[in-house]
A = this chain, B = another copy of it.
Amino acid sequence: MLFSRRSIFLRLLPGLAGGAAVSALPEAVGANTPVYPVQKVVYHLSEPTRVNFVMGNIKNHIDGKGGPEKVKIVLVIHGPALAAFRASRASPDLRRQTEMRAVDGVSFVACGNTLKALKLQTGDLLGKFDIADEGGVVRIADLQQQGYLYIRP
């Protein structure tokens, strides 16, 4: 046999830039206990009533995986939920949670369309937000296409 299963995958994997298919494949192909690569997850938040719940879910996700180096989380916020992250109005608890998750490596993404609708700029938000000029829903879809799993609590 010219190609072992493993050798075919090793040949295929290096050229692939984070497709869903690839990131979901166990690293140790053929092993009894597959070892998955670092999990990548996009969290989707739009409802203002679910802000604290989602922030808690993300903390639990990191803890449950065994630490911030075990999972890469992107939180994409669009719609009315984004208003909760205005620095001038955010609760002290949300401010603290946002800071701690940023230290953990969580990326915060604000929908550019929502920012315009709310007449806000990135500097008006807590912490360090990346702006999705293409829109929050497009960012969510693009991240899935790059291998991110999707959770909408």
Q: Which A residues have a C-beta under 8 Å from some C-beta of B?
A: 2-3, 5-6, 8-9, 11-12, 15-22, 24-26, 29-32, 34, 36, 39, 41, 44, 46, 53, 57, 60-61, 63-65, 71, 78-79, 113, 134-135, 137-138, 140-142, 144-145, 147, 149-153
Contact = CB atoms under 8 A, between A and B. Distances in A.
Determine how many copies of this chain the complex contains.
3
A11 B21 CA distance: 17
B15 A138 contact: no
A25 B36 contact: no
Contact of A21 (B6, B25, B44): B25
A145 B16 contact: no
B16 A29 contact: yes
